[in-house]
Amino acid sequence: MAITLNTGFKMPIVGLGVWRVEGKEIRDLIINSINIGYRHFDCAADYRNESEVGEALSEAFRTGLVKREDLFITTKLWNSDHGHVIEACKDSLKKLQLDYLDLYLVHFPVATKHTGVGTTDSALDEDGVLDIDTTISLETTWHAMEDLVSLGLVRSIGISNCDIFLTRDCLAYSKVKPAVNQIETHPYFQRDSLVKFCQKHGICVTAHTPLGGAAANIEWFGSVSCLDDPVLKDLAKKYNRTVAQIVLRWGIQRNTFVIPKSSKVERLKENFEVFDFELTKEDMDLIKTVDKKHRTNQPAKLWGMDLYA
């Protein structure tokens, strides 16, 4: 199941996110997920496993498991490479062993001190606060992203972690419109206005952290997980599904793409089995009531400052 982006290319609705997957786990994860039916992979230079993803993809192509044109591969420009967009994209392509990307995203709308292409460091200043480069705006970065399309290195370009104002600005100055805004959204952080704004203006929304980050974000950020929510648990019983499947189905029915991460084969299957049932309008409305406006992915805890404040 796929939806056509504003560039005319189709993006599968469910993808596999590979953040926090260790290099040695990647090969089996990618091969298993292709066997299950995944055709969309969400990567990033900052996940520091592009080379291992590239090895796995190359094996999948070499053995005839899948063809390049049947996969949709996303990766992302890290903050420290905003002044080096073309080199950073080429570095990712090399690591991924690809000659084009389906989607290249600006990971965060903020440039930081350059530390060498592809190194993805987040340099902090002497006070332990993220060292932001104030000479590079998202507009400057975006025009370099547009060049990637002209060069044939990337089919679609997009933004990530952008609010309504930044997205509006990007629409205003872009020659190539952003195809996607990848944002955190799940039942505990629904962000209906931002989702509606993007969709109204032809920008598809990819829900990152679509399960609310579950155990991983409890461990990393002390977050609260929507998978433990009593209303969602009751819905899971009602539909004879797991809570994760209810949460992903809700994401799909609000026309967002979902890119859950799991390192477990059973969960990869579970997270992909979300196309054979439908939540009623009443239950979609019920899920609206559980919103806690709770961002579970909190880079502020790593960067000494809250970019969203």
**Which amino acid does the sequence have at 283?**
D
Distance between CA atoms of residues 137 and 111, nearest Å: 8
Binder of ligand NAP out of 148, 213, 252, 256 (CB under 6 A): 213
Tell whether residue 261 is a contact of ligand NAP (CB under 6 A): yes
| Count of other CB atoms within 10 angstroms of residue 257 | 26
Q: Which residues pair with 104 in a beta bridge?
A: 75, 157
Helix (H) or strand (E) holding 104: strand 101-106
By rule CB under 6 A, what count of residues binds ligand NAP?
A: 30
Residue 74 Cβ, how far from ligand NAP at the closest point, in Å? Answer: 8
47 is catalytic: yes
Phi, psi torsion values for 253, nearest 5 degrees: -70, -15
Phi, psi torsion values for 12, nearest 5 degrees: -60, 140
Query: By CB under 6 A, what part of segment 270-289 binds ligand NAP?
Result: 270-271
Tell whether residue 209 is a contact of ligand NAP (CB under 6 A): yes
Distance between CA atoms of residues 134 and 199, nearest Å: 30
Would you give the binding string for ligand NAP spanning residues 88-117, x where CB under 6 A is met?
-------------------x----------
Tell whether residue 118 is a contact of ligand NAP (CB under 6 A): no
Q: Give exposure, 193-204, as e/b (b: 16+ Cβ within 10 Å).
A: ebbebbeeeebb
Range in contact with ligand NAP (rule: CB under 6 A) among 3-11, 139-147, 206-214, 231-239: 206-214
Range in contact with ligand NAP (rule: CB under 6 A) among 6-14, 77-85, 96-104, 256-264: 256-264
Residue 304 Cβ, how far from ligand NAP at the closest point, in Å? Answer: 18
Q: Is 165 helix (H, G, I), strand (E, B) or coil?
A: helix
Residue 214 Cβ, how far from ligand NAP at the closest point, in Å? Answer: 3
Range in contact with ligand NAP (rule: CB under 6 A) among 65-73, 119-127, 132-140, 262-270: 262-270
Query: By CB under 6 A, what part of segment 28-57 binds ligand NAP?
Result: 42
Which residue has its beta carbon closest to ligand NAP? 17
Distance between CA atoms of residues 102 and 153, nearest Å: 9
Do residues 102 and 43 make contact, with C-beta atoms less than 8 angstroms apart? Answer: no
Query: By CB under 6 A, what part of segment 133-172 binds ligand NAP?
Result: 160-161
At a CB cut-off of 8 Å and minimum separation 6, what does 2 contact?
Answer: 10, 11, 12, 13, 72
Tell whether residue 1 is a contact of ligand NAP (CB under 6 A): no
Tell whether residue 188 is a contact of ligand NAP (CB under 6 A): no
Range in contact with ligand NAP (rule: CB under 6 A) among 17-25, 111-119, 163-171, 272-280: 17-25
Tell whether residue 215 is a contact of ligand NAP (CB under 6 A): yes
What are the Cα distances from residue 193, in Å, to 107, 164, 165, 185? Answer: 21, 8, 12, 12
Give me the helix-helix angle, 243-253 and 281-288, nearest 10°: 100
Tell whether residue 259 is a contact of ligand NAP (CB under 6 A): yes
Q: Is 74 helix (H, G, I), strand (E, B) or coil?
A: strand
Would you give the binding string for ligand NAP spanning residues 231-250, x where CB under 6 A is met?
-----------x-x------
Binder of ligand NAP out of 118, 178, 210, 251 (CB under 6 A): 210
Site residues (CB under 6 A) for ligand NAP?
A: 17-19, 42, 107, 160-161, 182, 208-216, 227, 242, 244, 259-264, 267, 270-271, 297
